[in-house]
Structure formats: C-alpha cells, structure tokens
Amino acid sequence: MRLYPQVMDYRRLGNSGLRVSPLCLGTMNFGPHSTEAESFAIMDAALEAGVQFFDTADVYGWKPGEGVTESILGRWFAQGGLRREKTVLATKVYNPMNRDGVNDPNDVRLLNARKIIRNCERSLERLQTDYIDLYQMHHIDRDCPVDEILMALETLHRQGKIRYIGSSNFAGWDIATFNQEAVHRRSLRLISEQSIYNLENRAIEAEVIPACRHYGLGLIPWSPLAGGLLGGVLEKQKEGRRASEGMQKRIEANRDKLGKWETLCREVGQPPALVALAWLLHNPVVTAPIIGPRTINQFTESLPAIDLQLSKETLGKIDEIFPGPGGEAPLNYAW
C-alpha cells in the first residue's frame, strides 16, 4: 500500500462546491502536546501528502483567552510558500475566550451576534489571515434566536471574513432548524456537521446522519478512534495515554468487543486504526474524518486509510461487533 495516495481523491464538502481532502488534519494537540516546531513539520507534511483540510478552534491550547493553537497556525501561514492559499482552513466559535479573572457574561458558552463577530475577528488576527474558509459553531446554543446567529454569520460573510458555515455537536433537529431558517431568510446554509462518530459511538446514525443527508451536509467525524480505544489498544494498553486509569476502565468495559475487533483487523491484515478510519470513509455522508496527530509518524501512519477498501463481508463483521443504534429513527425503535 502506498504511503501517500498517488492522486488525492478530493471530495465536495456536502453539497457545496468546496473540495477538501478525505482526511482532515485536526490541530488540537498543537501547543499542549506538540511543540511549535513539531506542529509546523506536521502541517508541512500534510500539504506535501495532499491533506489540505485543517481544523482548529479558538479555544484550542486550553489557556484562557490565548488561542494558542490558532496562533501556531498563524505563524505557520506567515512563513509564506503559499501555505495559506493551499489550505482549506476551518475554525470554531462558542467556548469562553476571556482571560482568567475577566467576568464577561457574553463570553460564556453561547453564540450571540456580539460574541460571534468579535471572536471571529480575533481568530483572524491570531491566524494571520483575511478569511476563514469554514466557520463552525462549536456547539448548539438554544437560548439565542437562530435568526440572530445567522445574521451575525451573514455579516461576516458579506465582509469577506468567512466563506462557508458549519455546525458541530448539533442534534438532527438543530440542523433542520438552522437550514429551514436559512431557506426562509435566503441566507447562508450549513454545509457541514462536525460530530463525534466512531465504531464505539454510533449514536448519530439515528438522526444526525439522516439530517445531514437530507440537507446536503458533509459529515466531519471527530474522535474517529474513540480516543485511541480502536487503535489496537489491547496490544499497547500499557503505553502512553493507554496506561491511564480512565482508559484502563474503558478497556475492561469493552474487552470482549475489542478482542473480536483486533482479531478481525489481523484477519484483514491492516492495523486497527486504519480499519476504523476506512470504515468511516465507506459512509457516503462522511466527507473527512479528523485525525489529530502529535507526531509526523502518527500523521503518515493514517494516510493509507484513504486507499483501504473493506469488503462487504468485513463491513458485516464490523457491524456484528459494533452494532450501533439499530438504524435510523424511527425504525430503530418503532414500526
């Protein structure tokens, strides 16, 4: 199997005309776990491999108000070499961004017009760019009117500061509500939903995935390896983060499934992490799973998933091990 695909199979993000790589480079580790130099090297390797879809968030870096990870991306873009032009850049807004000790009732977990516009402008400064390709709401805020949120996003779009909008951690009915309001306003529609989705957690198959399909959203799964649980954890359970008490409890709770899973992957002849990513890519609603490497090796080890084809027999065996919610609602719970 090739390390890098010879021809990257770029995909449309939902029904939009925006084309992105079938893997999305998640940057959450940049700063907390990867040094700036390591982060730069990973991003350079990504572009070299054809992975040009990068995902970040204003809150990443986890230092109140600092936007550590966005700032690392900004300094990487500032090196030139057409790095910004080659990258499809996604970031997010929702979480608090004030520094410690600053009490601002409009900077808690919410999405009002004041916060959206202010935080977008601050993200642009940190990212050292004039525009964001995909601006995502990091979570749903049901206390703020949908038309106010869309108005703020439309304002940023008219100003040329954002190109497309997406959601993250939305329920199926939230996706429907936003897109129906957008139709009514004749305004920007969601083109993507970023949600937790992996073999251990298939809950979104009941309603979120059907909503994405109906409204033409591309799905961007986060945590595709369930925090490492699907990455061959039984063989490596005493290494790194796998040795943590929390992970050990998860392993014990899922030991039977994991044993069957890792046995199946050995039969397929591929590492469990690649099979888990390939399983996601077989879903036509999925555009690009997010991989969050801490090292270049972790990045390059993920690339062969793009080419990995799983047989119907293998997909059936995977469903037997991780059955999910039983299909789409309401047929998964009613006649």
Q: Which residues contact 300 (CB under 8 A, 6 or more apart)?
A: 3, 45, 49
Confirm if 143 and 110 have CB atoms less than 8 A apart.
yes
3-state secondary structure of 246: helix
| Among 110, 112, 31, 44, CA closest to 83 | 44
Tokens of 247: 């992970």
Tokens of 46: 């990504």
Catalytic one of 10, 60, 215, 333: 60
The answer to whether the peptide bond before residue 323 is cis (omega within 30 degrees of 0) is no
Write the burial class of residue 3 (CB in 10 Å: 0-12 exposed, 13-18 middle, 19+ buried): exposed
Q: Give me the amino acid identity at 292.
A: G
Confirm if 232 and 265 have CB atoms less than 8 A apart.
yes
Tokens 């990973």 -> residue: 42
Confirm if 277 and 292 have CB atoms less than 8 A apart.
no
Q: DSSP strand E in 57-118: where?
A: 88-93
CA dist 157 and 244 (Å) reads 44
Question: What is residue 238's DSSP assignment?
Answer: T
Active site annotation includes 10:
no
Backbone angles phi, psi at 89, to 5 degrees: -100, 125
Note the Cα 241 to chain centre separation in Å: 21
- Catalytic residue annotation: 60
